[in-house]
Amino acid sequence: MRLKISFAKEVDHKDTVCCVCWNTPEEIISCGDDHVLFKWNLITGEAAKVCELPPDVYPTDLHSFSRGQTSGKRHGQEQFLITSTDGRFHLIGRNGRIEKSV
């Protein structure tokens, strides 16, 4: 097995990236101290902004939940769970809105 490393031509994050997780085999999600959640397509190298977090949320961990994962479909309704430095959990829907904070 060989590891292939490539660098993006443009950097979309403006500050430190704290969290990265796989969404699908072709997509990863990243979040950082710039309060922006990006979805990266690994095949095309393009990044799409999912949402911007409130300025008081500094993420420490990120996990992606997809309903398509359990049913075997490729794409389903995605939700993201972000933990932050203030000890809270933030559930974010596919539309980028914070659904619930605990």
pLDDT on residue 8: 63
pLDDT of residue 50: 87
pLDDT score at 76:
54
d(CA 38, CA 11): 11
Tell me, what CATH number does 63's domain have? 2.40.10
User: 17: exposed, middle or buried (C-beta count within 10 Å: 0-12, 13-18, 19+)?
Assistant: middle
Which secondary-structure segment (H or E) carries 70? helix 67-71
In a domain, 75, yes or no: yes
- What is the per-residue pLDDT for 11? 64
- Could you report the average pLDDT of every consecutive run of 10 residues in the chain (102 residues)? 72 81 88 89 86 91 75 64 93 87 92
Domain that holds residue 61: 17-101
d(CA 2, CA 27): 20
Which pLDDT score, from 0 to 100, does residue 74 have? 52
What pLDDT shows up at residue 72? 53
Q: Which of 66, 86, 88, 87 is nearest to 77 (CA)?
A: 66
